[in-house]
Structure 1
């Protein structure tokens, strides 16, 4: 009997082991299938929204912000304590409020948002102050530490998630390429780093993410840089990606009166680098350059590269996406370890929460905006900035400005003189004598 039991025991063990392996394989396949389906749905939805234009893309960003904030709010939720403080969660959402206004050239929209824009600062301050007062009024004995912790948590979320991700909206309206290219580079870097680490990874990179390796980190940098050059060249061919949108229209076509110069081929020389440096650094390099052999000097002066300026900007974006943006993911990994959770949420089947997918993207959005405003954006006023300033004027001041601009356009032969005279006549009837001259 004992011998029979001893013989059956290994067989039972093997059957149990095989069943466990089969169940594990089935679960892995199921997870892979769910992840693949959700990825296809995400990509298809994203492409559809990009095709729809700037405004739908802006609302997509606002939706992503909502999901990210909700996920991180949920981490700090202590249900038993919140039941003792009615409305406390609503206070957090109230403080999180942010008013975004974009003006269009339509009279109806200008009339709708003009008053709000002129008083936007005081309105925002008043709403925030109301939230602050409401917070103080709801302080409850024995709950002070918890409530102030939640108040600080709310502001941390605003500073690390909501405000940085808002830069996506600014990037979108400067041209879809300034949103799509940085976002794509983060994804490309993730894929390139994974492949390089899978085939060549040996040396651990950071303790927070044991699977990350130096080989994957370097491979991601190389792959992302190469991809950025060609992707920027491809996207720059289409007005849909390069033209900024100056209104909130969904159906109006983009009007690029003149394609920005960064999307047209130019020839760059090695010495052009000096113009990007501070004067002291430029002078120091020129001193070293003058000490070179004349042959080397001639070679350096003649070295040139013909390409789109946008491709050079893309290389800078790729470098940041490879070297710095991943630390947004490392930050999120440390955050999740601190809370002993695997994912921030489950809003994306097979991928976790929205925050899990956007951790690096938030860092990239801020850099893209800062880089664009520092090195790419025109230094002079734009139509949008002038229009925003004009809306803050009183109606009579706006009429005076309109009349003066009509005179300028008539002089430049952009408007017929008859239209200019009609505008001037109307202005003289409405404006005081001192302004109508």
Structure 2
């Protein structure tokens, strides 16, 4: 048997293709170029989106400052317009064009309920201020007084008319859609007008109590966006994938500091701190009260030696502002998380496209709704004095009683005081 000498011979290279195992960190040149182009386009879109968002924010800020300068009545009108846009966006969310074609006039019914709710809510809130506005005209005063007296009855029968309209327009095979729209409409009314009622009350208690909470939400939103944009790495919540812990923490610190500073700035303007007792647009003058009177606190020696002043002036309202700032930075964002989950449930990116770079009005108002309710509750619980004062009783008398009733009260009170004086003199 012959020995195979070729078995131990060194292997000679063949002319076939030699395959090399690709390392995990090696990518084809074409793939690298494609990814590079994709990342470049992503960065360009990212910065373009930030630029559009910044420009629209500046336009909104300029318009907002103009409305603030015009006064309480114009701010209320702005709130009404925003609510109409919000209602429109929410009405359209569950709208189905095919079903609506089979239900002519059904959209009008939604707006009928909306404006009935608006008449009821704002009628209850602004009735006293409307009376104070028209006291100089006796005929107009009597007309307004009658309307206010029967305002609840008017709103009730308007609602009943809409309810009957809904029942009479029910169609076979459309019941589920119609009742779903009916329930959706009422949910919108609850969400929109619950927030709006508290917002309007805050406005007329003093623009300060509307402006500060709204500004804190805006500061928190902007700070969270920029901190997340430049430093965000750790996801915060699955409902909103773009939210990061870095953005949340950075915005919380920035919002709390801003609350303390902005309260001091806003607190020096009577236009912002004075409450509005009527629906006029004239300039306001009032006693700022102890909340807006500065208190001077000496600085520690190791700090004052580095500064040109020895004490610092702090408004008492700034301590209240810290509570508002903490709420705006920690709890109010959950309104945005709720809205994010809501949009994911309906598989939409934004509620609308009314504001370039921001989406719709509802996208901007999600946290504001939560904040407005808290600001009202906090103001009524911890800021408004709980004991009755002469000014509070006089305001209630002037806003609740007619002119004739006020005159009768004046006569009776004068008689009571006269009898007491005579009784004391005889004793």
Distance 1:347 1:383, change over 3 A: farther
User: Match of 2:18?
Assistant: none
- Which residue does the alignment assign to 1:422? none
Output aligned runs, 1:46-125, within 5 Å.
Answer: 46-97=64-115, 98-99=118-119, 100-101=122-123, 102=126, 103=130, 104-106=132-134, 107-108=136-137, 110-125=141-156
After TM superposition, the score normalised by the length of structure 2 is 0.76
Give the match for residue 164 of structure 1.
195
- Cα distance in 1 for partners of 2:273, 2:92 equals 38
1:263 aligned partner: 292
Q: Distance in 1 between matches of 2:204 and 2:278?
A: 9
Greater C-alpha radius of gyration: 2
CA distance in 2, matches of 1:14, 1:160: 50
Distance in structure 2 (CA, Å) of the matches to 1:82 and 1:74: 11
Distance verdict in 2 for CA 1:213–1:38, change over 3 Å? closer
Instruction: Give the structure 2 partner of residue 295 of structure 1.
Output: none
Q: Alpha-carbon deviation of 1:407?
A: 8.4
Could you tell me how far apart the structure 1 residues matched to 2:55 and 2:240 are? 26
* C-alpha distance in 2 between matches for 1:349 and 1:398: 53
1:229 pairs with 2:240: no
**1:400 matched to 2:408:** yes
Superposed CA offset, 1:360-390 (max 9, x none): 0111011111111111123333655433311
| 1: CA distance, partners of 2:288 / 2:331 | 31
Matches within 5 A, 1:236-255: 236-250=267-281, 252-255=282-285
Is 2:211 aligned against 1:203? no
Could you say which residue in structure 1 is the equivalent of 2:375? 368
Structure 1: stretches of 5+ with no match in the other structure: 1-9, 269-304, 411-437
Q: Secondary structure at 2:242's aligned position in 1? A: strand
For residue 350 of structure 2, what is the aligned residue in structure 1?
Answer: 343
Find the aligned partners of 1:226 and 1:311 in 2 and give their Cα distance.
Answer: 10
Task: Choose which of 219, 222, 231 in structure 2 pairs with 1:191.
Answer: 222
C-alpha deviation, 1:23, in angstroms: 6.8
Deviation readout 1:1-50 (Å, 9 max, x if unpaired): xxxxxxxxx99999998987887677666545543332222111100000
**Contact 1:246–1:383 under 8 Å retained in 2:** no
Aligned equivalents of 2:57 and 2:68: distance in 1?
Answer: 16
Picking from 394, 398, 416, the partner of 1:387 is 398
- Taking the aligned partners of 1:30 and 1:220, their CA distance within structure 2 comes to 22
The change in CA–CA distance for 1:229 and 1:359 in structure 2 (over 3 A counts) is same
Q: Distance in 1 between matches of 2:34 and 2:247?
A: 38
* Unaligned ranges ≥5, structure 2: 1-27, 298-311, 419-427
Contact 1:265 1:307 in 2 (8 A): yes
* 3-state SS of 2:258 partner: helix
Cα 1:25–1:352 change in 2 (3 A) is: same
Partners of 1:229 and 1:315 within 8 A in 2? yes
Could you tell which deviates more after superposition, 200-209 or 353-362?
Answer: 200-209
Aligned pair in 2 of structure 1 residues 408, 210: CA closer, same or farther (>3 Å)?
Answer: farther
Q: Distance in 2 between the 1:315 and 1:123 partners?
A: 43
How many pairs were matched up?
360
1:330 aligns with 2:354: no
Task: Give 1:44's aligned residue.
Answer: 62
Distance 1:313 1:25, change over 3 A: closer
Q: Which of 82, 107, 131 is equivalent to 2:162?
A: 131
Q: Confirm or deny: 8 A CA contact 1:336 1:344 kept in the other structure.
A: yes
